[in-house]
Structures are given as structure tokens and as C-alpha cells.
Structure 1
Amino acid sequence: MTGRRPVSAVLPPSLRAWFGLLAGVAALVVVVIGVLYADDSTPGAVDRWIFPPTSDSVRPPWRHVALVTDSLGEPVGAATLIVVAVAACLLLRCPRAAVLVVAGVGVTVVTATLLKSPVGRTIHGDNLSYPSGHTAFLTALALVVALPATGRLGLGRTGGMSLVLAAALAAGAAMGWAQVALGAHYSTDVLGGWCTALAVVPATAWLVDRAADRIADRRAERTADAGRRERR
């Protein structure tokens, strides 16, 4: 076995236990909200208290801000952000982080999409709304960028957790506000999307690290075997 550089891990070892716990709590929140609002088509008390989700009362210039933010979760905007993130990872020679960008965001979006039908919550007719895929997407993107950054920056447990959670909160709040302000989702849909990303991305990052470490170990073993054969 070869020594591994903690800096290469997309889920730094110092954060694994904490994010494992966070992912479990987030998954529980997703399930609880989904059960509470299953097959519902009206805003709950929390939704009405935070913002009337069907009023679409945001006016320019904030409506323009909301529309631009919303576009980041649409196919063209999302694809552009992913390509930029992957290109940045490759330029920084972080192939493992590039894999996490694609896998972490992809699995999060697929998970959010698959949850919509079983929950069956709707808005504006038959539009499935729980959880918010746009919120899940942008939160996941923030997480897959921030998690590897903590290792490269050499941040400790406190600094790393603060950076990752701040990035996730900022991205989730921005997209969540846009979705509720435009009447596309209830506020609890947004919370469900945010928690979906928090549940999925750490688990995906751990799997990416495991797979990459195994590949690295096999390469090292083959190199060592070749070296021994040459010395014979």
C-alpha cells in the first residue's frame, strides 16, 4: 500500500465523520418533509408564513435577478456551470475533483428528480414540486467545488466545515429565494432540495475517494511489481 496525500481527497479525512452525520440528518429531513406533504397541492403553514409561493409578487429589478438565478438551473445554464467547473479542476490538475463535479451534481439531480413522483406534491396544477431540483443542483455544485477546496487550502476541521457550509447555504439560499419568489416552488420544496444535495454529495465524494484510492493502489502495485522484475 502506498501513502496517500490527504490533499488529493475530495472529502478531506478530517471532515468525513461530520459530513457523514450531516448527510444522515439531511436525508432524514428530506424524508420527513416528503411524508408530511405527500400528494399535497397547497402551501403549508410554513410556506405561507415565509412567502406566498403562488403570488409571484417580485417586481423589477429583483424579478430580473430571480430570473437570472433561475436560469442557472436550466439545462443551458447548468451545463455551462458544470463545464466551467470541470475545466477549472483539470487546469488545476485535480482530476478527482473533476469526477466529483460530474458525479456529485449528476447523482443529486437524478435523486431529486426520482423523488418527485413518489412524493407527488404539486404546484400550479400537475407540476411536481418536491424537492426543488434547481435548489438541489446549485447547492450540489457549491458543495462539489467547496469540498476539494478545503483540502487544497489546507483548512482544518473548523475552517473546512465553515467554508463548505457557507458555500452550500449561499447557493441554496440564492436559488431557493428565486424559486419561491417566482412562484415555482414552495419554501419547503426548497428546503428539501437543499437537504437532498447535503445528503447525496458527501456520500458521492466518499465513493469517488474510495474508487480513486483503489485505482491508485493497483497502479502502485503494478509499478512495484515491474520494478522487482527488472531488478531480478
Structure 2
Amino acid sequence: MTGRPAPAVLPPSLRAWLGLIVALATLVVVVLGVLYAGHDKPGMVDRWIIQPTADSVRPPWRRVALAMDFLGEPAGAATLVVATVTGCLLLRRPRAAVLVVAGLGVTVGTATLLKHLVGRTIHGGNLSYPSGHTAFATALALVVALLATGRLGLDGTAGTLLVLVAALVAGAAMGWAQVALGAHYPTDVLGGWCTALAVIPATAWLVDRMADRLADRMGDAGRRERR
């Protein structure tokens, strides 16, 4: 049985640009991790940003921040993952569904591992770098943007712009909530954002590679059976 191959989750036209972004994001994550390893206080950039905002947000914006924060908690995150996977399957994009689970899992796992490796803390011992909430929100936005890019058939420039704008909006929204609630330093948020930017395109490329190889093997098996 043969048919059209499943659409790639990482459109070929985006691979060069996103490859560069992966490299830059990885560099930022590493540099910030080294700079703030073992720290328990805000850095200069953090002090400049958080002094007027941390723990000062008031209703109704505090409720908005709390709602954003909930979406990064296990219950909220699981709901978003299930809804996104369901949407991918309804759109007949099985690779995208795999990327949702694998990409978000690797992103959150990477952020958790980095927290223990870097050892930066906030509020008396809570590991803070990078922000897992920001990494999750950015990763989900990246997956949805990649799916939209493929379905709309956008070229490299337009597709890359859509992906970056989606990542920026989601990361900024969740990052604002984390800083406003005093849960993270701004540089933790930047680290979480870059963690997603480093992980999701690389995971999408791996999903495509594995899916293509599986399709080739199934095609070879089908041809041998027909003989």
C-alpha cells in the first residue's frame, strides 16, 4: 500500500533559519547557566527589570498572571497537550501529534535537568533557571506555529517570522506572569524561552527523520510482499 508521505513537521524551507536559531538559543542557555550557576540573588539585569514589578501586580492583572501560571502547571499543561494532540489528529497530522508529546516532553525534561545542573535558586531554595513554565508555553507555541506554517505553505522568510512571533508572544506572556508573581527572575524566563527555541526545531527534525525512515522500511516491505 502506497500513498502520499505525511507532511514534514519541520518544513524544508525553514530548516536553515531554524538551525541558526537553535545554535544561538543553545549558546544563550549555556552562557546564562554559567553566569548564574549557584546564585541565589538577582543579577544586574534582573534587578533593573523586577524591582518595579515583582510581587506588585494587582487585580485584575494578578488574576491574569495566575491563570497564565496555571497553564504551565501539570493539570493545565496536560489539558493543553491533550487538546493540541487531538487537534493534530483531527487535521490528519500524526507527525505533529508526535512532536507535541515528544517536543514538549524533551523541553520540560531539559529545563528540569538544567535547573539541577545550574543550581540557581529563588525564595530560599527553589530552583529557578531556566523557567520551565516559559519553556513549556514557548514550546507549545512553536509546535502550533510549525503546523500552521506547513498547512499554509509559507516560504522560509514568512514561515520563520510566524514561528518567531508565536514563540515571542507565548514566551513573553508566560514570562511576564512568572516575573510578576515573583516566581522567576527575568533571566530565568529568557533561559526558558531559549531552551524551547533550541529543543523544538531539533526534535521536529528528528521526528521527520524517524518517520521518513519508518515509511521507507514499510514501503520496502510492501514491495517485497507484492513480488
- Indicate the SS of the match to 1:8: coil
Q: Hey, what does 1:14 align to over in structure 2?
A: 13
Q: Hey, what does 2:63 align to over in structure 1?
A: 64
Q: Hey, what does 2:159 align to over in structure 1?
A: 160
Q: Does structure 2 conserve the Cα–Cα contact (< 8 Å) formed by 1:24 and 1:199?
A: yes
Over the aligned positions, Cα root-mean-square deviation in angstroms equals 1.6
In 1, Cα distance between the equivalents of 2:4 and 2:204? Answer: 16
Q: Hey, what does 2:87 align to over in structure 1?
A: 88
Gaps of 5+ in 2: none
Q: Cα offset for 1:66?
A: 0.3
Q: Hey, what does 1:207 align to over in structure 2?
A: 206
Q: Cα offset for 1:3?
A: 9.7
Q: Hey, what does 2:112 align to over in structure 1?
A: 113
For residues 149 and 54 of structure 1, do their structure 2 counterparts lie closer, same or farther at Cα, with a shift above 3 Å needed? closer
Q: Hey, what does 2:182 align to over in structure 1?
A: 183
In 2, Cα distance between the equivalents of 1:23 and 1:3? Answer: 33
Gaps of 5+ in 1: none
For residues 54 and 174 of structure 1, do their structure 2 counterparts lie closer, same or farther at Cα, with a shift above 3 Å needed? closer
Q: Does structure 2 conserve the Cα–Cα contact (< 8 Å) formed by 1:42 and 1:123?
A: yes
Range that drifts further, 197-206 or 48-57: 48-57
In 2, Cα distance between the equivalents of 1:9 and 1:184? Answer: 37
Q: Hey, what does 2:150 align to over in structure 1?
A: 151
Q: Hey, what does 1:40 align to over in structure 2?
A: 39
Q: Hey, what does 1:76 align to over in structure 2?
A: 75
In 1, Cα distance between the equivalents of 2:75 and 2:3? Answer: 41
Corresponding letter in the other structure for 2:192? G
In 1, Cα distance between the equivalents of 2:105 and 2:224? Answer: 37
**Counterparts of 1:118-157 in structure 2 under 5 Å?**
118-157=117-156
Q: Cα offset for 1:226?
A: 2.2
Q: Does structure 2 conserve the Cα–Cα contact (< 8 Å) formed by 1:9 and 1:148?
A: no
Q: Does structure 2 conserve the Cα–Cα contact (< 8 Å) formed by 1:53 and 1:186?
A: no
Once the two structures are superposed, residues 4-25 of structure 1 have per-residue CA deviations (whole angstroms, 9 ceiling, x without a partner) of 75x7000011111111111011
Q: Cα offset for 1:54?
A: 8.3
Structure exhibiting the larger radius of gyration computed from Cα positions: 1
Q: Does structure 2 conserve the Cα–Cα contact (< 8 Å) formed by 1:27 and 1:196?
A: yes
Paired residue total: 226
Q: Cα offset for 1:51?
A: 1.9
Q: Cα offset for 1:148?
A: 2.2
Q: Cα offset for 1:147?
A: 0.9
Moved over 4 A (4+): 2-5
